Structure 1
Amino acid sequence: MKPKDELGRRGEMLAADYLEDRGIRVIDSNWRCPRGEIDIVAVDGSDLVVIEVKTRRSRNFGDPLEAVTRAKLARLKTLAVMWAHEHGRGLGALRIDVLGIIDDGRSEPDIAHLKGVY
């Protein structure tokens, strides 16, 4: 596995632990279809939450949250509808969150969680 892929996988594991510690139940991860991928699908109360995770080693090339564009958020909304349909779940309240993680591998990861960005 490439170092970038390893960093991404580690970031998604950190994100899942972070969410679970806050009472947000992860129900799926790395769901793929021809139109894209959802990093994490979770449930927070009655909300279905689709979560994009961006992990970087440092902020040298910008904050990881800056890498999530409006186009990406719109695609995540479409993917959320597709995921819900495939899994026989009603959408009810849908929320899209973004987690930005800085993990240099030496110190405690820095996690920023933006709720309801779209």
Structure 2
Amino acid sequence: MHNDDPFERARQAQASAIARRRRRAKARPSTAAAVPWRGSPTQRQGRAAETRAGRYLEARGLRLVARNLGCKAGEIDLVVLDGPVLVFVEVRARRDAAFGGAAASVNRGKQARLIQAARYVLPQLARRHFKGRVPACRFDVVSLESGEIDWIRNAFTE
């Protein structure tokens, strides 16, 4: 039977697509360990830097809340709790300090994108970790240059 109603055809197409995705999801391996994360060499280096920065902050008493929170505005590398303060952390890694170094690469444009991304994810984080109340927030930068870590607290403000 041919249906001329475009809305009904769209609904049927959506239902069919959902069913296909569910079938594919069942066919995938159930554990993330079965499929290792792949990425470009630069992405792998960035992920390793984020892991190292997260461990560095945890060793100093901060608690890791989330990693790689993305939205249309951008991505926040790490979100940690420093006591009652929610901290959005940008991780930057460079081999050397040429061109101003890692911390200097967090320019005004990048800061604006981080602030936009934080505004986007803050309500969700507030519901999950602060019973809906918006906590005090700050932006930190962790830079890794020549194997050294530099943690810049309150690197910029909104």
Shorter-normalised TM range: 0.7 to 0.9
Which residue, 66, 81, 84 being the options, matches 1:43? 81
- Paired letter, 2:106: V
Off by >3 Å, runs of 4+ in structure 1: none
- Paired letter, 2:141: V
- Specify the alignment match of 2:50 in structure 1: 12
Higher strand proportion (structure 1 or 2): 1
- Specify the alignment match of 2:91 in structure 1: 53
Q: Give the TM-score of the pair, scaled to structure 1.
A: 0.86
- Return the alpha-carbon distance in structure 2 between the equivalents of residues 90 and 53 of structure 1: 27
- Specify the alignment match of 1:106 in structure 2: none
Is there any run of 5+ residues in structure 1 with no aligned partner, and where?
104-108
Give 1:94-105 correspondences, 5 Å limit. Answer: 94-103=137-146
Cα offset for 1:90? 3.2
1:17-68 Cα distance to aligned partner (Å, 9 max, x none): 0000001111000011122100001110110000000011222343100100
- Paired letter, 1:101: L
Does residue 1:86 correspond to 2:124, yes or no? Answer: yes
What is the SS of the residue equivalent to 2:100? coil
What is the SS of the residue equivalent to 1:63? helix
- Return the alpha-carbon distance in structure 2 between the equivalents of residues 110 and 90 of structure 1: 36
What is the SS of the residue equivalent to 2:143? strand
1:50-91 Cα distance to aligned partner (Å, 9 max, x none): 000001122234310010012222222222221121232433
Contact 1:26 / 1:43 at 8 angstroms: preserved in 2? yes
Which residue, 69, 76, 96 being the options, matches 1:31? 69
Once superposed, what is the RMSD of the aligned Cα atoms?
1.5
Query: Percentage identity across aligned positions?
Result: 35
- Specify the alignment match of 1:116 in structure 2: 154
Higher relative contact order (CA 8 A, sep 6+): 1
Higher helix proportion (structure 1 or 2): 2
- Return the alpha-carbon distance in structure 2 between the equivalents of residues 62 and 76 of structure 1: 20
